[in-house]
Amino acid sequence: MPLFRIHRLKENHRQQFRWQPHTPGLTHVKPRDYEPGGTIEAGSEYAAWLRLREAGEPFQVGDLLEIEGASLRIYKYIGFEEVRWVVPEQTPASVPDGGGLRAQPSGL
């Protein structure tokens, strides 16, 4: 049985997520909007959803399930859909000497 990692949507983002219209296709989410929610062993996303509900820790709209090394799924009103993490781009370190760039003379 696969082991799922649970990511719970932070409460301050939950209402915003609830009122967004459903958009088909791949959804992108930010890791900073989630907090760890533990792990659960289940045969599928829906089996994990059912086990969490029976345990008194129901999945809420916006929460994520991650299968180690495979996929990330978000729980929406219509069921589970695939998502991807949005990873911010790394800004290049500033170069103190201007990076070897020199101003070109104008008028050439």
Taking only the tens place, the pLDDT of each residue in 4-62 is: 999 999 988 887 776 677 677 788 899 999 999 999 999 999 999 999 999 999 999 89
pTM of the model: 0.74
Query: Are 82 and 73 contacting, i.e. CB atoms less than 8 angstroms apart?
Result: yes
Look-up of token digits 């086990």? 51
Output DSSP code: residue 96: T
Strand order in the sheet with 64-67: 27-29, 79-85, 72-76, 64-67, 3-9, 34-41
Interval 67-83: pLDDT, tens:
877 789 999 888 899 99
